[in-house]
Structure 1
């Protein structure tokens, strides 16, 4: 990763001892909360690698839950996030796992609501508070949450990506990065686009109305990185 400034090295304003194990973990939790789009009633948190070895000492568990509560990286409530989450009705389960394919600082979050709707988000903290989302609901995609992210779940059909990009272009939205994955030819697929600005709701609804689009998520944590 190319560091752009000193904050890429020392990390953001934060609560906790480590930009990787705390600030990055907060951002992964916030990303998962925004992708899920609601307060999760049940969350299973699985730590891998160095996260699994040191999460208690570094407060990574508190950080991830703070992110799930939508706290910013410098919010002092992170210190009490587990207690606050449980009081708010969030049932939490912590586990550790092994998977050599993941980055050493990786966590998998399984979020559910009362109706059983579930999202599974895999994220890694890669240093200086920076993160990469490595998977969404079994799809292998990679994006940073440094920019607003539009996530489109759809059937793998000819012209789908072109339809999505044309709609964004029609609204003056610039695409900075794109990744996609599919289960197989003609099967279920996901397209992730990081944009330079927020995507207006009317464009989201236009994309949602396309044939063979199942779900559209707009996730943005960039405008609220520091608590007020």
Structure 2
């Protein structure tokens, strides 16, 4: 069930004309910024489906860049986000694609910094300002952002899931949902864990110290 209350259907407080094309886009961008963990030096965005056809008129372009700048859906700076990004020295590129995708409101974001570190995510806006992240760096997943979500990138080794679970148990954090994807046996894997409670910084720091863990981040609703 995608909607929990009438307020989910009405949509969030926001800048822009459309909860799907504006608020949803801002949230996709903000999740990308949270996972990347810092201001990027380059932003490359591809729009698909309805996003590709209407992104200028509906403010999808300024909304998604605003989200990447860590602006909330109601932040008035969103309307100037592209120029603000350029003032910060961030290169911004937009593309449209006629490729058939599973949802009409789909965007793919690539973030890069000056050291060559990069992140690529794909997200969809499902209405009422709600989103799903469907891919991170090539890993397919389904991340709603409706609950605190722990993302652990790690080498595919035995004991990693138990190690992270033990840390959450130590902090009395209950797991609501969990999925693990890997590229190939023994290669990189991604652990996605939705929790019922917020994950404290100390728990993240402990998870980062587990052998073979590459990175740890948390997405808050």
> What does residue 42 of structure 1 align with?
42
Q: Return closer, same or farther for 1:91/1:71 CA change in 2, 3 Å cut-off.
A: same
1:100-115 → structure 2 map (5 Å cutoff): 100-115=100-115
After TM superposition, give the deviation of residue 93 of structure 1 in Å.
0.3
Q: CA RMSD in A?
A: 1.2
SS class of match (1:151): strand
> What does residue 214 of structure 1 align with?
214
After TM superposition, give the deviation of residue 149 of structure 1 in Å.
1.7
After TM superposition, give the deviation of residue 35 of structure 1 in Å.
0.4
**Can you list the C-alpha shifts for 1:139-180, whole angstroms capped at 9, x where unaligned?**
111111122221111111223212211211111112222122
Count how many residue pairs are aligned between Structure 1 and Structure 2.
221
Q: Structure 2, unaligned stretches of length 5 or more?
A: none
> What does residue 89 of structure 2 align with?
89
After TM superposition, give the deviation of residue 211 of structure 1 in Å.
1.7
After TM superposition, give the deviation of residue 196 of structure 1 in Å.
2.2
Q: Structure 1, unaligned stretches of length 5 or more?
A: 223-228
1:2-41 → structure 2 map (5 Å cutoff): 2-41=2-41
TM-score, normalization by structure 1:
0.93
1:190-205 → structure 2 map (5 Å cutoff): 190-205=190-205
Which is worse superposed, 30-39 or 204-213? 204-213
Query: Stretches of 4+ moved more than 2 A in 1?
Result: 98-102
SS class of match (1:57): coil
Query: 1: distance between equivalents of 2:38 and 2:4?
Result: 33
TM-score, normalization by structure 2:
0.96
> What does residue 53 of structure 1 align with?
53
